[in-house]
Amino acid sequence: MAQLVVRNLEENVKRKLQRRARQSGRSLEGEVREILRAAAAETPHKTAAPGFGTRFAAYFRNAGVDLGSLPPETPSAAKFE
């Protein structure tokens, strides 16, 4: 088995890891080992899915609507009469 030494770890990070280890019923070393295993199992360069606005714009990108030609408007409050 390999060994890993982490130097210059902030004290508050260590405390949070210790708290997390207690809640999981593991030692600090066991908790860090589990975190590293999970991190190594993730797909590399995993990015978040694009937001709704990005997907919406992509869907209508080739629909023939040129939103760039619309005049800018200043929003105003709704009027109820």
Blockwise average pLDDT, block size 10, the chain, 81 residues: 92 95 94 92 73 83 71 80 81
Are 65 and 56 in contact, with CB atoms under 8 Å apart? no
Which pLDDT does position 23 carry in this prediction?
Answer: 94
Question: Residues 6 or more apart from 26 whose CB is under 8 A from it?
Answer: 34
Which pLDDT does position 48 carry in this prediction?
Answer: 73
Which pLDDT does position 28 carry in this prediction?
Answer: 95
List the domain boundaries for the chain.
7-43
